[in-house]
Structure formats: C-alpha cells, structure tokens
Structure 1
Amino acid sequence: MELKRVVVTGLGALTPIGNTKDEFWEGLVGGKSGAAPITYYDTEKFKTKFACELKNFNVTDFLDRKEARKMDKFAQYAMVAADEAIADSKLNLDEVNKLRVGVIWGAGIGGLETFQNEVLNFADGDGTPRFNPFFIPKMIADIAPGNISIKHGFMGPNYTTVSACASSANAMFDALNSIRLGHTDVVVTGGSEAAVTIAGMGGFNAMHALSTRNESPETASRPFDGTRDGFVLGEGAGALILEEYEHAKARGAKIYAECVGGGLSSDAHHMTAPHPDGIGVIAVMKNCLENAGLKPEDVDHINTHGTSTPLGDVAELKAIAEVFGSHAKNININSTKSMTGHLLGAAGAIEAISVILAMEHGIVPPTINHTTVDENIDPELNLTLNKAQKRDVKVAMSNTFGFGGHNACVLFKKID
C-alpha cells in the first residue's frame, strides 16, 4: 500500500509569549521570556512563585461566556488555538467532507484546575456532595477534541493521546498515520494544558522538578546552562491542520511544510528520570528518521525537549551526538522552552509550530538565558545560544519526552 503524503496547512498558537502564531513567532525570534510572578493565586507559601502564564488573554474575546464556563482552561485554550489554525488553513467548512475530518489532540493532565476546585469546595463543606454538573465533562482529558469536533461538525476520528509531556507529539504522529493510511483527509491536531494551579505547582515542587529562581524568574528557564535548576511551568495550546497533499493541492491551500515521519519509544527505566545514556531517545530519533525515509545528515535543525533539568538536557544531547555523529555539530539545536517554559502535554505542538515557522522564515529561534558552560555538554554543538540564527532549514525535528519514559519525535521538511 502506498502511503499518502501529508502536509501542514494551518497553524494556531496560544502561548506565554504570544496569543497568536504570529505573536508567538515574534516572541521566539526576539528571545522573549514568558516567565513572571504567578498572578492566579497567592504564592507566599510555595517554593516556586513564578510560571509562564498567558498574558492579556480573555477567553470571552473568543468564546461565548456561557459556553466558556462549561470548559476547563485547557479546553478553552484548545478551542482558541484550533479555531486559529482552522481559519489559517482557509478550509471551506461548508464544502469539506466532515466525515473525513478528524480531531486528534494531546493533553498530559487535562482539567486539573476543575478537579482541584471541586474537591476543595467539597472539603470545605459539610460533607454533602454538591458537585458542579459540569465537573466530569470539564475535567476529562478527551473533552478538548470533543468540543472542537462538536463546534465544527467534524465526524472523523476524535480522541486524546495522554503520554505526559509527549502527548501532543504523540497526537501529531497519530494524525499523520490516519491521513497516510487513507482514513482521513484532514486532521486538527495539537495539544493544550493549563496546570499553573496550586495543585500543579505544588505537585511539581514536591518532586523537586521546578526551578526555584524566584529572584529572577525571567532567566530561570535556562536549558543547557551549567546553573540550570529545573523547568518552568507554562500553559497554553498549539494546533496544526494536517492534510492529505492532493486534497490540499486541489483546493489551492497554502502549504507550510510536509510532515514526513514520526517515531515513538520508551525508556523503560524510571518513572520520572531519563535514562542516563539516552537509549530511549536514541531509539525514538532513529525510528523517526527511518519512518521518514531520511538520513541523519539530512537534518538541519532540532528543537529539543530541553526542559532545563540537570539530567535531562545532558542525556538528550548525548543521544543526539550518538544518532547524528559528526553531523551533530552542523545542526542548529535549540530549546524554545527557555522562552515559553514547559507546556507539558502542549509542548510538542507549539515546538512543532516553531520548527515549521523556522523553515518558512529561514531563522532558528534562540536558546536564551545561557551564561555558564556545562562541562558535560560538547562545546562543538551549536545550541543557538541567546540569539536567533539565520539558517535555510530544509528538514527539522521536534523532540518531546514525558514522565513514564514516553518519547515522541516528529519530522518536517520543506515541500518539494
């Protein structure tokens, strides 16, 4: 069976450094930090008092107030990013066969704030279970693609992938395969997350996963830096329209890039720590290249998982050196989490958007906040430090890894 070609025809982004794909890109190239003191709740007793929250975002600018109240923030964010991507694709919703349009979404946690608030409200009461009737539908991780499909009438496959921080990359790979195999013509894919809550921050603090650089939050996310002390939690959503090539061509769609392959693997090592030799990461990148029919030397740019954790950054770069050999030093490597923070289940989607826009504009965004060399990192690697670099990017890879040892990788290339 000959696999169908799959292209990207629409993008939507709602991030801590920009509330549209264009604002997001401007923030990336400008090296903008999205980290700032938390405004959502009193942080006095918390170890970490900052995060990468959305800025100047009012959901009622996009959704009816009554409808928005039925959704957790993660689902609201999904709706906004998906609507931007659908509009960007210029897909004619009156003509497209909606039985062949799917929504495959990623979320690592789902409606955490809804769950937290409902349980706290119950605990503060007299023991009578007075729960909001929308508690369950707001909380469940699969509701975001459900809401997107209901709004637009998309009747193809509809589900959420949950693989921690690899969730949206996992969703993109599923979407790619759905179209490749002829099951769908179009898939709205991506991911969303809204975990900047007392439960989210408290839980990650308890694991010692977060930076505690409270005196300088804007510099706290510093992947590959010798003084990094943990990741910065972010929130938001990224959405991509994947479309069968001939379908896109027939309607004269703008094509951003071709999605040529993906890979999945497991570390099979530890609940939260990466394998020190990066064996699962090596496997996922090799799987991805093989799936795409490309060689290591074809890759120009890698947006790493690069969360700014002491163990993870080193393990990933060791894996890149193993897979790409001498070519690794020719690749523009970066971590956009230095600016956006870590969007958990939405990370893969917004980082895929970053590599696609890097192709379109011929610029690789920087890894900001690097001041101190880590002697465990090969100095010959081009980590695109502190300043964007011009580069004709023909093939780009996006890596995402999650607690539980989940690894996902997606490859894009300029359209022939």
Structure 2
Amino acid sequence: MPVIGIDDTDSSTEMCTTYLTIEILRQTNLDLIGLPRLVRLNPNIPLKTRGNAAISLTLGRGKGEKMAVGKIGNEDIFSYLDFDEEMIDVDIMSIIEKFSPKDENTNPALLVTESPNDENFYWDAVREFVDYRKVREKARGKFSTVNGEIGIVGANAAVSWPRKNITYELIAYLERDRWRGNHFVDPEGSKFIELNFPDTFDSFDLRHGYNAIRPTTKTPVLFGIRGINMRNLMSYLDYVKSEPYFSFIVFETNQGTDDHLQERKIEDIRLYHSSIIHGFVSSNPRTLKGGVVDVEIASENARISAVAMEPTKEFRDTILKLKKGDEVRIYGGTTKEGMINIEKMQVVSLSTVREVGPPVCPNCGTRMESSGSGKGFRCRKCGKRSMKGEERISERDLKEGFYEVPVIARRHLARPLKLGLVK
C-alpha cells in the first residue's frame, strides 16, 4: 500500500503543499484510501516554510463503501476504507517539480513507503529541531529530493503522524491561471460560521475583523474551513460566499491539537522547544520597545522571560494585570534562548496585593495626604502628621482561569480554548 509523504514545496510568496493532493488525484487512476493528511510541524524552527505544513496520502484500489470528501471540477473525490494494494501509477516527483517554486529556500521532498514509520519521527518533528540526515538514515522508504534534503523531515513526519488528536480542514482551491492577484471571500460568511457553528474554529476574529479562512499570500488556496466534524465541514461550504473555486478536499490535520507542546521544567527548556511551564510571577510585567509585554516566571531552580508580542493585541493587557506572586501555567514556544512566546496562559492562583496609602486623621476624620516620598502623611485640615500609612488589600482586575491570544495571532497547532483542553 503506497503511503506518500511530501514537504517543502512552497515559498514565502507562492504555492501551498496541500494543493499537490489535488494534482496527484487528477493524474492517478488509483483511489484515495482514508483522508489526506495535513501535518503542521514545529512552529519555532527558522527553516520552516510559510505554512510549515507537510502532507501524506495513501493510494490503492478502493472497494466497498465510499464517501465523497471533495470535488475536482464537477467530479467527486471519493475516499475508501477497504482496498486492494496497487503500485503507484503516476510520477509524483514530476508533479512536485512542476508546481514547486524555483526558489533557493524551497527544498521539495517525497517519501514513498509501504507503511507508516515510527511515530517518534512525528513527535520529534513537531517538538524539536531534527537533523534531516538522521531521518534519511533511520526511516523506511524511498526519498526523492530537489534542491536539498531539508524537506525529508516533514515528509517523513507526515507519514509517521499517529493521529492521536485530529481536527479537519476543508480547503478550496483556485485554477492555476487564477492563483495570482486579489481574490474575494466575503467576511460575512466567515463571521456567520464563527458565530453559529461551535464545532469550527479560527474562522473569523470578531474583535479585529480578521477573515481567518482566507490566506494573505498568493497561493492556490481560496479559503479553508477548520473544524472537528468532517461531515459538517462539507455542509458549511454553503455559507461561504466567494468567487468560484475549482476544487476542494477535506484533510485530517493536527491543527488545533497542541501536539507541539510538552510539559517541561523551566530549567529544561531549550531553543525551538514548545513547552508548558508552571511557576510564579517573580516581578511585575513591563512593556518593552515595539509593544512587547514581558513578565518573568520563576520556579525553585530557574527563571524565564515570558513575552506577549505586538500581534497578540489585547492579550498583552491580560499579561500586564499579573502581579508578583501569581501562580501561572504558560503555554508557548522558544525561538530565543531564555524566552518563551506565550500562546495561552492559565492563572492558577492570584497573590494578595497590599497597598499602603494615606491614613485617616484621628483628630478630624479626614483622609491625610502624602507629604512626599519617605516624608509620611499630613492632614490638610488640622496639620497633624503621621509616618505610618494605612495598609489595605488591592482588588485584582484579573480572575483565575485560562486566557489565550486572539484568532489573528494564533498558531496553526495551538488549540483554541473553545475546543477544550487536551493538556
């Protein structure tokens, strides 16, 4: 049973690796077995492609019950669970070369194997920095590459994905002669989906008016609807108002699963890790140049700077409400030593914040005023002085619970709180 993995066929300005699924299915006489798979990789790696996604699909001679999972033109794409094994009848590498950008930073790779590889290849690729030479040395199957071999990491990860947590994305594509230029996807349809179908996610950012189903670069993709129910996604197509698309297909994905995150002690975090850490706020947050909000988190043995970058918008205001002594869990990734970029946060417990202010004058009952730093307090009415202030507990403008960045700033792998936590 040929299992195919493909990665690194896009650039910063064009193409999308997922589109190759359509071209392969157009040219093969074999059938799609199961759903094609879209696998996002470690989001912290500097070598990542724009979408940072690899794909995998299985081909064979389908038999028995079939299910429509997309269209190419007016023809349905069917998926089968039962099948007879067949040899691949199409030159997949020539398709990859035809559609991949001729870019020095694009390193297309193809893996063809008879069965999935060890799932640890996937976990490493979604959580660590992986040396492609070790993958080539240890993974089963035949690799083919163009312009370098970096793409074999993602191609192998896609065929090794164990599918322990699954979401879906329906992706609609344009015909090739319409890939460039501006395209129309009505934001009102995306907004309707976001507001009315709780089994979808990241369709529209209501606060910032951001249409999240529409890509911002020139690619074959016209739009993509993400959700947790594959059959429902097909019906939600009717709510998207857009210019015509030529094809669409539903992928199984690891998007919105938090697969990239791993519980770690602060002292164990390394560059490119995505981690969940537990600790206490060791100093009050501060705003740095460029709108970055920084707060130091400490455990018994280590400290780390947790940051909310400018694209996280109002989420930074939540971070600024933290106070020294608050107990938190931080979910995020490390792209710079000693720093974790926050994706979401749990406030486990709030510290008690005490403030010292002017006391009440014992003579006339009015509130005294400060006489200046270190000079105590003075009653304006009768002139009485006091060096001792009045301590009171400050009311906190923050509650225990979970907080997350807005849709406009969310990474593909990050799980929205609306779907419930898996970690």
- TM-score using structure 1 length: 0.25
Q: Whose relative contact order is higher, 1 or 2, with alpha carbons under 8 Å and at least 6 apart?
A: 1
Bigger share in strand: 2
Bigger share in helix: 1
Please identify the structure whose Cα radius of gyration is greater.
Answer: 2
